[in-house]
Structure 1
Amino acid sequence: MPLTNAQYDQIMHEYEERRALHRQELEERQRYVYENVPGYKDLEDQTATASVTFGKRLLSGERLDRSALRQELAELARQKLLLLTEAGFSSDYLDMGYTCQDCKDTGYVGNEKCHCFKQKIIETLYDKSNLKMLTKTANFKLMSDKYYQGEDLKRFHGAVNAAEDFINNFNSDYQNLFIYGTVGTGKSFLSTCIANELLKKGHSVIYFSSTGLFELLAENSFDYRNKQELRSIYDDLYGCELLIIDDLGTERTNSFVASELFSCLNERDIRKKATIITTNLSLEELQMTYSDRIFSRVTSNYKLLKLSGQDIRKIKKIARKESEDFQ
């Protein structure tokens, strides 16, 4: 599913806006320093004058030693840094800021698309997945064990530890997670927390509800005019660094779904690309619902994390209702 020209232009426009914002912020910091650090602006002017004067002399035909200019500029830079730090500012206070340090907010590293650009493509093409919105409210700091007790609590802590291990070793250790259990026990929330952390680290993540994924594949599989688009979808599904399939089992299961699911899991396993699946199905129901080879692939290639306990969504809903009634 390639970007349209309009989509590409929109992404590049966002990068332009980022750079403009950071330039504005830098200019504001510069003005503040000029007004509050005596002598700093004079050193800035001396730096500019030295470079311009040297250039003019070169153009006039003089033979000059460039090392002398470098030494002069280095000394001026040293004096500026000294003034800045003595005034209580950090040494990088007047450095240009970037949202992405790798591409300097251009979208490219050399001739290659930056990881942040690739993720923007994913977000643009699969905006229905709502991953960007989900990750705004899902992070490990908001995760609480107060809804779990006894064996449920042990399972929760085990799942969180496994999730943190998955994140910390993502670059070096190929893992897949199968998070299953009863309704409302935090499976989707945990998977989104993982996605959030990996996005921060610059990894490409595609998130789909199971229903949304198979509907997308069906729409493009049964229309011969969409062959190129379907190939592009497969490239993204098979090639992204992390694929999350949420709520497996909520889709209308048939031979097409079973075939596509196995192909996806198998291809990603061949490429050693991590996958997270969440489901309300038990392992027995998984085997009954899908083929034996899918069951075998999951139980042999995925770390199985079970969450159980009360329906947290229901508890929170009741608490909100009681709070509203009290007010």
Structure 2
Amino acid sequence: MSTDYIQSFTVCGIYQATHLLGEAATGSVWQAFNILSGLRVAIKTCPIPVDAALPALLPYEVKIYRLLRDSDSEGIPSIHWSGIDGNHQVVVMDLLSPNLNTLRRLCRGTLSLRTVCMLAEQMLARIQFIHSRGVLSGDIKPHNFALGCYHKARILHLFDFSHAQLFIDPSTGAHVPFRIGRNTKGTIRYASVAAHKSHEMSRRDDIESLLYTLLELFHGQLPWYELSKLRNEAAYDRIREMKEGPEFRDFLSESLPEFRSFHAHCMGLSYGQTPDYALLRSFFRERMHREGWYYDWIFDWEDGSASEKGTLIPDDYVFDMRFVERKALDPA
């Protein structure tokens, strides 16, 4: 579908779509608004499979969102409506800001260490929360994290659970057993080594994918970036070899000690073992403390002076705090 034109449609006669935000294998995402309240929302649509035997993708994702629904949690988008509209499966949810991959590009390809440390704090909190509900993301990457809008503009959200799965068996309460031959790769660039090998995934795999995500945000590119664009099994096998081999170890050796410590913890986890989220947070908190930085949640894309390269955001753009409710996010 082309993004060169505006296509307007309504869902349930209440939500008016205005333009396409993006497309993925699991559906299209549109910006829309509630014609009764004016509230801006996002609409994700997916054609109903012609073959009734094929799985319904969006209803599964909606079930994951509802499993994660919690009045005390933050950083997971709320679902406003879901169901069938015409010949599409539809879910209406909170509208988010541009994702971290887009914001990284606006910041000329890399983010400052200060911003990465603050992002790591919230990213680990989101991942720990979904794990506490027995859910694995299966697709941790910069594209699936975004700040909220309005009073949630300082809160990082984790979204897109189309690859999510339960690691706790609901009938027994036990961790699902280790198996091989599983199709659980997610996005190859950020996939864990176990996912490459088609092993059953556990919490350590989300944490490993988070490491690759943080490294890309900080360095701008992972060693296997070009290979990840080829989309063939030979390239995927080579990427796995690089993640396990000297190429990645050399890359880490030239990076920061926080990332090396993070990697060491990932590699030390056994299948089914609970990651030490507090330890992982401490790597970045200690760096913040040593540098004399504060968790003010002002990121590079708001304050271009935080990065030596500046940003690609126009100088006349104004981030007006009148439209943002500063919410306490003190990590201590």
Asked if Structure 1 and Structure 2 have the same fold, meaning a TM-score greater than 0.5 normalized by the shorter chain, the answer is no
Ranked by relative contact order (alpha carbons within 8 Å, sequence separation 6 or more), the top structure is: 1
Q: Which TM class, normalised by the smaller chain length? A: under 0.3
Question: Which of the pair is proportionally richer in strand?
Answer: 2
Q: Which has the larger radius of gyration?
A: 1
Question: Which of the pair is proportionally richer in helix?
Answer: 1
Question: TM-score of the superposition, structure 1-length normalised?
Answer: 0.23
